Structure 1
């Protein structure tokens, strides 16, 4: 290995079968209802194909050896591992949700300990219960030594409606995340457009970038970054549609009084957020770097799902970016996010490793 910083992938998942077994034992009705909702949202064809994909990629999702072998082929040195978003279980009540985030955080820690020089981890925080979010974050960061937590784009509110990232009940969570310097990884799972997306895998290809755009818009327009400017929020899938059409948000902020809650034009906040590189297009990656700044884009693969990138480093290298921009995305920006100690410790061990 050279004396460069290691290449760090911030968007990689692990499947935790123990969690689903726990949910099946504690709330089988809720789990069955979620599976039925997933069927409605995705459609039978997509559900079947997704099942085949999971079975095919099961070793990559669960086995450390298979993961490390693929990382060697894809030239990724370090992965920041988060639970599969299928583990959100947003229907879980407070008691079960507490058990689930504690178990998820423990299992992620246990997984990454199998190769601590190659992995760091993110835990879970139950967005449907804002009052539990601080405890979940502290459990992940302080108890388990993880970099932060993964959250969805919204969650059903047990009292009715939804919990959005603009919800003032999340303010204590943002406060604590800022204090801890924790990474908050925004990764959608599910979209309330329901059956309109049940063909052609629209539940993923359209819903995921749309959900990113909605969640980030709530976050920006509500002025969360005005109140908590040091937050480290990383948006999966390149932030979805929002960076591509941010001018429309700026125009609304200019002409609509109800949209002028944040202190500055929405586009100005893009350079204060972080985005992964997973946009599946060299042209779109260049546009993302231009919109948010290349220093705010991080390598992301969505490993090992089929809608991810098996060779994310090659995808970044294929884009019409400057060499400095590519190096920033692949290696340097993760250190600026606060993962410098991880990168350096990984580099030290990796120098003596062939993998």
Structure 2
């Protein structure tokens, strides 16, 4: 089985060059620390620039060592910039998407790039998704919310229409540059906040009827589904007890779970095994968060440790990703 990693990140050199010139419009600048370069976002969040995060060829040796045949590459999540105005959001998306197309063309055996779109303007996001599809990109990464706007709100319907019609898999990835309150401590913005944001977005897509209206929509929830798996039972309870929870959907929330896919980044083999048993191996794809340190260093080992039947193992390692990416 050719292993496909569906959750990893890349900063294209063209994007670095663009932000070196225009970063002041995005509250982003390039700084140096101990001989290394970083993006500094909103004067708070530091993200590395050098090494395999921005060097495609440097990734291949790591992929070979971990038996990963191809990466479905997405931008680092802060580059989605959902908080800037539409013109800026569209510009950075187009710079990124054009660079991702070039990456895929330069080495199609190793890289299957995903798009980004300006979700602060859903109509513009839909148009850029159409352009990305014509350029050959196979999916899109989006944030779980747009500042305080949620993905089930009516104006996002034009984006969901386009994603379904274009058969573009939608990968939801959270990022908060400057988390507030308790989430600002102990790295909890990443460890807890990211999972909460993903779970909340998934719950809204269910209760808001987005999945009901778009039965062919395919959504990947990074980080093993975030908080959603722990919420499904309570969402069903809400459906039984609360009229509002039934206003947009005709059946229990758990029945929509088969429209979601999850990566394997659970950081607990016991939990990952439970999730695979609960939702089925065909709902899971390899994800690593490569090359960031909070990801999985040995994804194939993680899957093989579950002791699955060969057919189920193959689904997680590559077959489901190939289907989602239409390879």
TM-score, length of structure 2 as denominator length: 0.90
Distance 1:114 1:29, change over 3 A: closer
**Greater strand fraction, Structure 1 or Structure 2:** 2
| Residue number in structure 1 paired with 2:5 | 9
Q: What is the CA–CA distance in structure 2 between the aligned matches of 1:165 and 1:38, rounded to whole Å?
A: 28
Please state whether the residue corresponding to 1:113 is helix, strand or coil.
helix
| Residue number in structure 1 paired with 2:187 | 201
1:74–1:313 Cα contact (<8 Å) kept: yes
- Deviation for aligned residue 1:16: 3.0
Q: What is the CA–CA distance in structure 2 between the aligned matches of 1:23 and 1:12, rounded to whole Å?
A: 21
Distance 1:132 1:226, change over 3 A: same
Q: What is the CA–CA distance in structure 2 between the aligned matches of 1:328 and 1:35, rounded to whole Å?
A: 39
Q: Which of 125, 128, 141 is the equivalent residue of 1:150?
A: 141
**Greater helix fraction, Structure 1 or Structure 2:** 1
1:186–1:233 Cα contact (<8 Å) kept: yes
Please state whether the residue corresponding to 2:106 is helix, strand or coil.
coil
Please state whether the residue corresponding to 2:170 is helix, strand or coil.
strand
Q: How many residues align?
A: 317
Q: What is the CA–CA distance in structure 2 between the aligned matches of 1:60 and 1:305, rounded to whole Å?
A: 10
Q: What is the CA–CA distance in structure 2 between the aligned matches of 1:89 and 1:36, rounded to whole Å?
A: 10
TM-score, length of structure 1 as denominator length: 0.83
Q: What is the CA–CA distance in structure 2 between the aligned matches of 1:309 and 1:220, rounded to whole Å?
A: 29
- Deviation for aligned residue 1:170: 1.3
Q: What is the CA–CA distance in structure 1 between the aligned matches of 2:265 and 2:28, rounded to whole Å?
A: 31
> Are 1:31 and 2:27 an aligned pair?
yes
What is the CA deviation profile of residues 249-289 of structure 1, one whole-angstrom value per residue up to 9, with x for unaligned ones?
11011101111132221111111211111111111111211
- Deviation for aligned residue 1:136: 1.4
| Residue number in structure 1 paired with 2:242 | 256
Q: What is the CA–CA distance in structure 2 between the aligned matches of 1:91 and 1:23, rounded to whole Å?
A: 16
2:12–2:54 Cα contact (<8 Å) kept: yes
1:24–1:31 Cα contact (<8 Å) kept: no
Distance 1:112 1:128, change over 3 A: same
Q: What is the CA–CA distance in structure 1 between the aligned matches of 2:320 and 2:139, rounded to whole Å?
A: 17
| Residue number in structure 2 paired with 1:64 | 56
Distance 1:36 1:86, change over 3 A: closer
Unaligned segments of structure 1, at least 5 residues: 40-46, 157-161, 343-355
Please state whether the residue corresponding to 2:292 is helix, strand or coil.
coil
| Residue number in structure 1 paired with 2:104 | 112
Distance 1:23 1:331, change over 3 A: closer
Instruction: Give the stretch that moved more between structures: 184-193 or 302-311.
Output: 184-193
1:243–1:270 Cα contact (<8 Å) kept: no
| Residue number in structure 2 paired with 1:226 | 212
Unaligned segments of structure 2, at least 5 residues: 30-38
| Greater RCO (Cα-Cα under 8 Å, separation 6 or more) | 1
- Deviation for aligned residue 1:322: 3.0
1:123–1:146 Cα contact (<8 Å) kept: yes
- Deviation for aligned residue 1:194: 1.5
Root-mean-square deviation (Å): 2.2
- Deviation for aligned residue 1:242: 0.9
Distance 1:286 1:126, change over 3 A: same
| Residue number in structure 2 paired with 1:309 | 296
Q: Which of 70, 74, 89 is the equivalent residue of 1:82?
A: 74
2:82–2:143 Cα contact (<8 Å) kept: no
2:6–2:73 Cα contact (<8 Å) kept: yes
Q: Which of 258, 264, 284 is the equivalent residue of 1:271?
A: 258
